[in-house]
Amino acid sequence: MAGEPQDDCLFCKVVAGQVPATVVRETETTVAFRDINPQAPTHVLVIPRAHYRDIATLAAAEPAITADLLKETGEVAAQEQLDSYRVVFNTGSGAGQTVWHAHAHVLGGRGLQWPPG
- Active site residues per annotation: 103
Q: In what order do the strands lie in the sheet with 42-48?
A: 23-26, 30-34, 42-48, 104-108, 85-88
Nearer to Zn ion, 4 or 83 (CB): 4
Q: Which does 51 bind (CB under 5 to 8 A by kind): ligand 5GP, Zn ion, none?
A: Zn ion
If binding is defined by CB under 5 A, does position 43 make contact with Zn ion?
Answer: no
Q: Is 16 in the site for ligand 5GP (CB under 6 A)?
A: no
Q: How far apart are CA 64 and CA 109, in angstroms?
A: 29
Binders of ligand 5GP in range 32-91 (CB under 6 A): 33-37, 45, 90
By CB under 5 A, what part of segment 1-20 binds Zn ion?
6, 9, 11-12
* Nearest approach, Cβ of residue 51 and Zn ion (Å): 3
The closest of 89, 85, 90 to 75, measured between CA atoms, is 85
Backbone angles phi, psi at 4, to 5 degrees: -75, 150
